Every structure is written in structure tokens, then in C-alpha cells.
A = this chain, B = another copy of it.
Amino acid sequence: MASGTVEQRLRELGISLPPAPAAVGSYVPVLRFGPFVVTSGQLPFRDGKLIATGRVGNEVDMETAQEAARCCVLNAVAQLRAAVGELDRIKQIFRLDGYVHAAPGFHDHPVVLNAASELLTAIFGERGKHTRVALGVHDMPLNAPVQIALWAEVEPS
């Protein structure tokens, strides 16, 4: 599981993927469907705890929000690895659903989510270039500041 181009890029980036977090409800964290794979919405858990809570723009500053976005995406990548075995089997990450728990009047969702998008491209190269929806949401499960889900196509085995 630790060989391959993507795993090498992770090492070069100094990233050690976390264990894939458990679901926070009666669902599963990741599933394959046909030649595709989709994760549940990932929250910024690290070592079993949210690294931040609250609304971006007042309780959570931009730097912390971007760190939370990167944390969500690493958890999502860990889910992909748990589902497909080897990250080199990911052919293309084709969608990132990005949700920012935003204070009223906060419109810089793209800036928050760019931290996630750029990390994904750093890890996967061309295969990490994805479409995106970015929303500012009213309230978030467990008061998390960011939630991210990934959809990807898997190489045929």
C-alpha cells in the first residue's frame, strides 16, 4: 500500500495520511459504485477531534479555515485509499463538494476551499483536478467549520 506514484508524492510533501475516520452517524464513510467511488462528507477530524469549530469569518479565521479544509481533504483521501487499496488506482477525482460554515456576509468560500483543491492537485497531479461546488452553509454537523466530500473514477483492475 505504500508504493506507487501518489504515495511517493505524499512522502515528498511530508504528508502521512491519517487513518480513515469513522462515520459520525448511521452511514458508511466511503463506497464504490460501478467504476466510481464516493466519500461521505468529511469533517476536520485529527486524532479523533475536530481541529476547529464555529463559523468562518468570525469565530474561525481564514488560516484556520484553510487548515481545516486541508484536514478534511486528507481524511477524504484516506477514505479513498481505504476503498480502493492503492491511491494510484484513482484515475480522476472528478468532483469536490465543499461546504463552508460561514458567518453572515462571508463570501470568500473559494479562498477557503482552494487550500483543499490545491492540496488535492499537489497529491494527485492531473488526476486530482476536479470540478467543485462551493456553498456557505448555515449550520454544520458538530459545528464544524468545513465539510468536504470527494467523487472519483477508479482505474479498472
Q: What is the interface of chain A, defined by CB distance below 8 A to chain B?
A: 23-36, 38-41, 92, 94-97, 99-100, 102, 104-111, 113-114, 117-118, 121, 129-143, 147, 149, 151, 153
Contacts and interface: CB of A to CB of B under 8 A. Distances in A.
A96 to B, nearest CB: 7
Contacts of A34: 34-36, 153
As for how many copies of this chain the complex holds, the number is 3
Contact of A133 (B94, B142, B147): B147
Contacts of A109: 139-141
Contact of A41 (B25, B33, B105, B133): B133
Nearest to A131: B40
Nearest to A42: B133
Contacts of A117: 25-27
A68 B62 CA distance: 29
Nearest to A121: B26
Contacts of A97: 133
B141 A28 contact: no
B132 A92 contact: no
Given A137-B138, A138-B102, A141-B110, A132 B38 contact: no
B94 A38 contact: yes
